[in-house]
Structure formats: structure tokens, C-alpha cells
A and B are shown apart, each in its own frame.
Chain A
Amino acid sequence: GENVEQHPSTLSVQEGDSAVIKCTYSDSASNYFPWYKQELGKRPQLIIDIRSNVGEKKDQRIAVTLNKTAKHFSLHITETQPEDSAVYFCAAKDTGRRALTFGSGTRLQVQP
């Protein structure tokens, strides 16, 4: 089955700096890669996703890049703000499965 590895496990940045979180996946059939943000004690919420026919997608301060050859994808947050502090999970899925496989999460701390 699919295996998703995520790095780093924790990331601390100064407000205004950029943050990058990286994930690798094992199943070359995976074609959908969402990112979820989970604030403390809250539900995971989708913040951005990308499909395998696209190399990059941007939504304001958030961008995701995908390298299908290397089987890795990354989340980029620019101009970080304290409210970006949360745990971020990457995930992967192929069309043959209904379920997402999640990475182990990255705890992002944005220092004011």
C-alpha cells in the first residue's frame, strides 16, 4: 500500500519568514495530494490540494509543488503569520482507493 513520509516533524520560523514542508510517497499510481491544517484540538481542514497533472498550485500565501518523477511534493507558506501555527498533514491517494494515506504531520510554530 501507499506510504507517505513527511519532514520535518517540527518547524519553528519567525513571523514573516517562509516555511517549507516536504513529503514523499511510495505508490506511483497516486494522483491526488491534499494538505490539511489541524489547529490544536480542532478538526483537520483542507487548505490546498494538487492533482498529478499539475506541477504547482498557488493560493495566496500557500503553494504546493509536485515532482512526480521523484515522488515528492511540498507545501510552501510565505510571509508566515502566528495564525499559521498548527500541525500540517500531507496525504496521497490513487483513483483505485477511496481513502487518503496521511503523513505523520509537521508542527509549525510561527514566532511573533
Chain B
Amino acid sequence: EPEVTQTPSHQVTQMGQEVILRCVPISNHLYFYWYRQILGQKVEFLVSFYNNEISEKSEIFDDQFSVERPDGSNFTLKIRSTKLEDSAMYFCASKAGPSQRELFFGEGSRLTVL
């Protein structure tokens, strides 16, 4: 069964450093998302991406965040200058099309900012 894959599974970084989290969505999917989950809290929406552009973003997704689809398979989330409060599990998700309801999540990338 096809899966969303994410790398790295865990990254530890110093405050102020740039971080890039990578995702490979399911190959025929058209909609891509980043969510984050601070330890013990709810899953929060960051950004959605369709047709090579951001289609929606939350108030969390400020100028420190950016997303890119550099080629036909990867979907990346960049945090320019990490803060302590960016420590969380970051989930990538993808969806096949507008009439498809199910969101498929990756296993997550745990980011620890020291």
C-alpha cells in the first residue's frame, strides 16, 4: 500500500538554525499539507499546497516558514530560524483529489530545538 514518507524521523537543532523537513507524498496525490503536533496537544494545521502554490495557511505559518515542491516527488517545509516553541512533531499529509476525503499522513518528523 502506498504511503507518505518523511525524513528525517528526528532532528535536533540549535535555536536560530534553519531546518528543512522533507516529505514524499503518495505519487498520484494532488493536495499536500503540513500539520504539527506539539507534545501532548492537538494536531494543528500549518499549510496546504495545490497546483504548485499555497492554497491555505494558518496563523502559525508565519514568515519563518516556507514550503516548496522542488521536483515531482518531494514536498518540503523550511523553518528559517528555529525557536524553542517550534519543537513538535511535524506531519506531512496528502490527498488524491478534490472529491477524495481521506487524508494520508506520514509518520512524522520530530523536531527538537535546543
Contact = CB atoms under 8 A, between A and B. Distances in A.
Interface of A: 32, 34, 36, 42-46, 49, 89, 97-105
Contacts of B102: 34, 46, 49
Contact of B106 (A34, A43, A98, A99): A43
Interface of B: 4, 31, 33, 41-45, 48, 50, 55-56, 58, 91, 101-103, 105-108
Given A99-B33, A104-B41, A104-B42, A43 B107 contact: yes
A47 B103 CA distance: 11
Nearest to A93: B101
B40 to A, nearest CB: 9
Contacts of A36: 43
B42 A103 contact: yes
Contacts of B105: 43-45
A93 to B, nearest CB: 9
B43 A102 contact: yes
A42 B56 contact: no
Nearest to A46: B102
B91 A98 contact: no
A43 B91 contact: yes
A99 B45 contact: yes
Given A45-B105, A104-B41, 20 more contacts: A32-B101, A34-B102, A43-B4, A43-B105, A43-B106, A43-B108, A44-B91, A46-B103, A49-B101, A89-B42, A89-B43, A98-B31, A98-B48, A98-B56, A99-B48, A99-B56, A99-B58, A100-B45, A100-B103, A105-B41
A36 B93 CA distance: 13
A97 B56 contact: yes
